[in-house]
Copies of this chain bind each other. A is one copy, B any other.
Amino acid sequence: MSNTTGPKSVTLHDVAREAGVSLITASRALSNPGMVSEKAIARVRQAVEATGYIPNLLAGGLKSKRSLMVAALVPNIAVAQFLPTVKALTDALDAAGYQVILGQTGYDHAREDALLGTMISRRPDGIVVTGLVHSQVSRERLRRAGIPVVETWDLSDRPVDMVVGFSHLKVGSAVAGYFLGKGWRRLGIATGDDHRASVRREGFVSTVGHDVPTVVVPAPSSLALGRRALADLLEKDPRIEAVYCSSDQLAQGVMVEALARGLRIPGDLAICGFGDADFAAHLNPSLTTVHVDGAAIGAMAARLLLERCRGESVPEPVVDVGFRIVERGST
């Protein structure tokens, strides 16, 4: 667009004239060659070359009801956590001729609602959201729009449509169980304030069985916030033995702060992160963390969406990809 001055763009009409066939034959030659004679196809192809025609997918989509776009909503594209998911999703969809429109919610529910509205107005063939759709209004709008939706990075008994993820409650439980199994009793939590991190914290606390000193930091979490978090935690309990962090970024900050205070890891302080970021294995000591297969989530989301787009029914709309604790030097 924005064709301010240029000659009006070439349309299929021009191609058809150039090729000496009707508009619809030209259309079919390009998108449904099986229905057209070899000869016509060749002439249309040539006309495309000659005119420099580039189809207008907007126009096609208007009539055919297929935009070949999928909307992907993430909290923040700069948070490395969701990158493998976005990449796997994009790759798989691209291979099927779909493009991804990106939206960032900024961990903000109001913004998520607004963005979902904007996305729906683009009539994507599918929508992938990170986490569960929070607001009831949006859930209802999505259902009524009739667009396939995949919620990711979480689980739910009653998703808007489909869901691919894992249980954050179980993650929290598992880490707490792991700490307790190691004999650590004086525990601490450094956690982000987003919904999923909160649920992990809940699982952690409920398995521990009593309240745990906690520092909550605003999303997106970072190394710097982690350093501060440990300082604050040590004020609450100077003899903490093990800290669970809701992200590896936070965990790295906790680690840096601990080392700066001369604490030995894991001797004086054990640390467990979440996400298994690429740097986790290379910290010194290496970081114990919870590994989630983000790429698998993206690939599965793409698969479900594509099946649905092909009109196939998706028998199992709730997919649990699980998680595992990766034990390393920090514990």
Contact = CB atoms under 8 A, between A and B. Distances in A.
Contacts of A100: 101-102
Interface string A227-258: 00000000000000000000000001000100
Contact of A84 (B3, B78, B126, B223): B78
A122 B58 contact: yes
A40 interface: no
A220 to B, nearest CB: 11
B2 A69 contact: no
Nearest to A55: B121
A89 to B, nearest CB: 10
Interface in A86-127: 86-87, 90-91, 94, 99-104, 117-126
A91 B87 CA distance: 19
A1 interface: yes
Interface of A: 1-6, 9, 52, 54-59, 61-62, 65-67, 69, 76-78, 80, 83-84, 86-87, 90-91, 94, 99-104, 117-126, 141, 144-148, 223, 252, 256, 278-279, 282, 284, 308-309, 311
Given A1-B66, A9-B146, 6 more contacts: A1-B67, A2-B148, A4-B146, A9-B145, A223-B278, A279-B279
